[in-house]
Amino acid sequence: MKKTLMMAAIATVSATTVMAEEEPVLNVYNWSDYIAEDTLAKFEEATGIKVNYDVYDSNEVLEAKMLTGNSGYDVVVPTSDFLQRQIAAGAYQPLDKSLLPNLANMDPDLMAGAAVYDPGNTYATIYMWGTTGIGYNVGDVAERLGEDYTVDSWSIIFDPEIVSKLSDCGVTMLDAPTEMIPAAMNYLGLDPRSTKPEDIEAGAALLEKVRPYIKYFHSSQYINDLANGDVCVSVGWSGDVFQAQARAEEADNGVEIGYVIPKEGALQWFDMMAIPADAPHPENAHKFINFIMDAQITADITNYVWYANANKASMPLVDVEITEDPGIFPTPEAKKRLWASVVYDARTDRLMTRAWTRIKTGQ
């Protein structure tokens, strides 16, 4: 055998050996409140692979780990705009699509939307998607703004006259600068996708104006707080607000929670499953991603976490109260008012982060 051929043969054998030797362990890092109760147990039972599962509630936290490397995670779930930046930094390995037959279940239109951030869907597939809108306590808002008041506008957050009347029952915002500042820009009639420093500063100035009426900035605490009646208005992620609604119903505590995609529009985002470049168990990672894309498994997750999925084959298995809820699957009319997240360059990112610190600390 020629030397090069022999080397290639050895490489193939050792690669096969490495694959065969992968320990039955998988380290997953996902958003909090984002999986069905039995998903991991079902995966473990089906594959014999033990899952270590950690959670986060911020893209910035995940990004810091991905850009540092050596996270030890095998599957992570960045939002599409952050994913694009992390792909450019070499943080992920391309998916081996031959190991993902369930990709056939995915909705081609939604995957094309995600491909804007990851051409060819090379590095990631959609986990769930949603919108960033307003969760509110129906009774508390009616008490303060009147029975006839309709919650349908960002003015409930961004108009000082209105939000000041709600601050006693608790108004909260996501701790997510790249979502809150564009929402404020949009309310001002500016392009929420603009990266012009003056537009970003205008959005930040509006946030500073309403800052005195905001109880806290946090991206997961509001679920329980809304459900328990401890806060009354939260800028939140669609499914999380619906989970608050479900928890309140379950507790039978008299709290009624609504979710609205404001008439001025809202952010639509995709959360993507990806495998870090240095994942210790890439073969198990592929098994997990393929398992999640099973129609029944995805439907079970959507039915539990109230987030829209991009798995066309799962739709008949998703509860009708979910598929027909316009807060979860927006109507074609509402879809026209959604904007897609922007991938910010380092300069704009710094500008946003600095403005955000100023807004949060009130300095």
C-alpha 189/C-alpha 151 separation (Å) is: 19
Task: Please identify, using beta-carbon distances, which residue of 157 and 166 lies nearer to ligand SPD.
Answer: 157
Q: How far is the CB of 199 from ligand SPD (least distance, A)?
A: 19
Q: Which whole-number Å values give the CA distances from 175 to 109, 195, 283, in the listed order?
A: 30, 20, 34
Selected from 63, 74, 271, 283, the binder of ligand SPD by CB under 6 A is: 271
Select from 118, 199, 240, 283 the one that contacts ligand SPD (CB under 6 A).
240
Q: Which residues pair with 272 in a beta bridge?
A: 126
Look at residue 132 and give its three-state secondary structure. Answer: strand
**Given 79, 186, 302, 309, the residue binding ligand SPD (CB under 6 A):** 79
Rounded Cα distance, 34 and 36, in Å? 7
Minimum separation from the CB atom of position 291 to ligand SPD (A): 19
Report d(CA 350, CA 352) in Å as an integer: 5
Per CB under 6 A, the segment of 30-38, 44-52, 83-91, 253-261 that binds ligand SPD is 30-38
Interacting span for ligand SPD (CB under 6 A) from 5-13, 26-34, 98-106, 289-297? 26-34
74 vs 79: CA distance, rounded Å = 16
Of residues 34 and 213, the one with the C-beta less far from ligand SPD: 34
Q: Provide the token pair at 212.
A: 């005195």
Q: Provide the pairing of β-strand 171-173 with 216-217.
A: parallel
Sites for ligand SPD among residues 169-188 (CB under 6 A): 179
314 and 110 in contact (C-beta within 8 Å)? Answer: no
Contact segment (CB under 6 A) with ligand SPD among 32-40, 151-159, 284-292, 329-337 equals 32-40
- Span of 25-33, 135-143, 192-200, 314-322 interacting with ligand SPD by CB under 6 A: 25-33
Q: Measured between alpha carbons, how far is 109 from 53 in angstroms, rounded to an integer?
A: 30
Q: Does 225 sit near ligand SPD (CB under 6 A)?
A: no
Q: How far apart are CA 151 and CA 134, in angstroms?
A: 9
Q: Which of 158, 269, 329, 344 binds ligand SPD (CB under 6 A)?
A: 269
Total chain residues near ligand SPD (CB under 6 A): 11
State the binding string over 109-148 for ligand SPD (x if CB under 6 A, else -): -----------------------x----------------
Shortest distance, position 92 Cβ to ligand SPD, whole Å: 18
Sign of the four-CA dihedral 61, 62, 67, 73 = positive
Indicate the SS3 state at residue 319: coil
**Residue type, position 168, single letter:** D
Residues lying near ligand SPD in the complex (CB under 6 A): 31-34, 79, 132, 179, 237, 240, 269, 271
